[in-house]
Amino acid sequence: MMGQAPKSILVINVTRIGDTLLAVPALRALATAWPDARLTVLGHPKRVAVLENLPFLAEVGPITKQRAVFRGWLPGHKYDLALVYGHDEALLKYAFRVARLVVAFRQSSQDINARLYKEVEEAVPHSEHAVDAALRLVRALGLPPAGRRLQFALSIEERAEAETLIAAKSLAGHHPLIGFQVACFPTKAYRDWPEAHFIDLCKRVLALKPGAAFVIFGGPDDREKVSRIQAALGPMAVDLAGLSLRRTAGVMSLLDAYVGVDTGPTHIMGCFDIPLVALYHCKLPHRCYGAQDHPYDFFVEHPRLGGPCDEKTPMGELGVDAVFARLLEALDAHAALHSNDREK
């Protein structure tokens, strides 16, 4: 049993960008409850970088189930407490080797459940917000949340690099500067808004605001799609597909507004106080995955929300009119924000 506050805590969360960020409020709750503890997070080698520079984390590093098999065999416990997200047996067994007490969601193996300090009931899918689902492991320890906002920390050098990139792309001085995340990852492509809709949206913005410029984000698999959208819009649009995760975040932090489908970079955008227009499929609504405690959250739900909906329900049914209206609200919010800044 836990007789005193832990001095060292391990959290293992090997998952995608968005799910990694959605667990940040749980990490912050641990750090707030036990400020003297050393908090280490191990995550997916390609995605754990989203947690770098967070002030309450002592260490961020990679782990995989393949590597976990070979780690943690020295005698003794390196950690007083470990929280493990997911259902990977290799990661749980690693946690048992390195931590005195382990907390996790209920597993299919009763042998593993019997070894857990806290066996936690997992949320029914889409029954609550993903932030609350991640906080369940923390609440099982009797700890309260310490805010629900996601958090991303850029270094001074990363922000300076982003400013240099914006200048190099001849975007400095263009306003509004609007970013677009035009695709989810391939296995969740049903969340993608049509290319033609993005192009139509940008042309409507240019008709109203001729000084606007656009930054189009996407992963390596999205290069062709991003290139087609950029070509349709001409020199006022810049293709940044394939930019690294943290460099993408640096550019995002300099935007005036953002429009994106429901995917990892949109969760990153939810960490900045910049007007955000996120587009949600009816299968995965805002109430489950939307930005939390964001001051400028102008989300748009799929028109079939609450009705018949599955992965075959096209995102194209979410019309340009609805998104354009919300983007204008977002741009008005940006203008008001900067007007207040000038008055101070």
C-alpha count within 13 angstroms, C-beta hemisphere, residue 53 = 12
Between 118 and 172, the higher pLDDT residue: 118
DSSP, collapsed to helix, strand or coil, labels residue 11 as strand
pLDDT value at residue 336: 87
CA distance 323 to 301: 10
Q: Where are the extended beta strands (E) located within the chain?
A: 8-13, 38-43, 59-62, 79-84, 99-105, 118-120, 177-181, 213-217, 237-239, 257-261, 276-280, 300-301
CATH topology of domain 156-343: Rossmann fold (3.40.50)
> Which residues make up the CATH 3.40.50.2000 domain(s) of the chain?
8-139, 156-343
Judged by average pLDDT, the poorest of 32-36, 162-166, 334-338 is: 334-338
Mean pLDDT on 319-341:
89
Q: Which two tokens stand for residue 277?
A: 């227009």
How many other CB atoms are found less than 10 A from the CB of residue 327? 24
- Residues 84, 88, 90, CA angle at the centre, nearest 5°? 95
Q: Which two tokens stand for residue 37?
A: 């503890």
70-79 pLDDT, tens digit per residue, is: 998 888 889 9
pLDDT value at residue 254: 96
Architecture of domain 8-139: 3-Layer(aba) Sandwich (3.40)
pLDDT value at residue 227: 97
243, with CB counted inside 10 A (0-12, 13-18, 19+), is buried
- Cβ-contact 300, 323 below 8 angstroms: yes
C-alpha count within 13 angstroms, C-beta hemisphere, residue 86 = 21
pLDDT value at residue 320: 98
